[in-house]
Amino acid sequence: MTTLTLVQGDITGQSVDAIVNAANSSLLGGSGVDGAIHRRGGPAILAECRRLRATRYGRGLPTGQAVATTAGDLDARWVIHTVGPVHSATEDRSGLLASCYRESLRVADELGARTVAFPAISTGVYRWPPDDAARIAITAVRDARTSVEEVRFVLLDARVHAAFAALTG
């Protein structure tokens, strides 16, 4: 059974097997969690992302999918990049958000990762409401068939942390 842990803080400081990056489809870095992971992880992450773009994801990583790279200078073995959906008031995109968590755990299983740190995917510039994002994330992780022993939700924002805490007891 997978243990869920909540931490309020910076995901780039976590000592885990894999850190999940809320990436943009280009895989070339961006703002928020994506930018922080690339800055702190150093150039090795970007170099591997560039190789992935050149060989497999020339048009970008599709929303809801996940792929792994080195973690560079982070205290982790891998970074699992996943592209969250932009929230829409007119279209139900919750399946894509859930897929980010499921696909990231699938990649973690393939790598043999036992501990995985997730951010609150899509709650930043993609404007997903924290309460709904927390419900989707926690349900997807609890329903996943995975050998990952610990999923750590690392949440920088106090409001997002409170939304996750309300659903995990």
Residue 89: φ, ψ to 5°: -80, -15
Report the pLDDT averaged over residues 119-133: 96
d(CA 53, CA 32): 21
CATH number at residue 83: 3.40.220.10
Q: What is the token pair recorded at 16?
A: 């885990």
d(CA 14, CA 75): 6
Q: Which residues form the domain of 158?
A: 3-168
Q: How many domains, the chain?
A: 1
Residue 8 contacts residue 119 (beta carbons within 8 Å): no
Q: What is the token pair recorded at 93?
A: 């995109």
Strand 66-70 relative to strand 78-83, pairing = antiparallel
Catalytic residue among 34, 73, 109, 143: 34
The pTM is what? 0.97
Residue 127 is predicted with a pLDDT of: 93
State pLDDT tens for residues 18-54. Answer: 999 999 999 999 899 999 999 999 999 999 999 999 9
State pLDDT tens for residues 8-22. Answer: 999 999 999 999 999
Residue 109 annotated as catalytic: no
Count of CB atoms within 10 A of residue 138's CB?
19
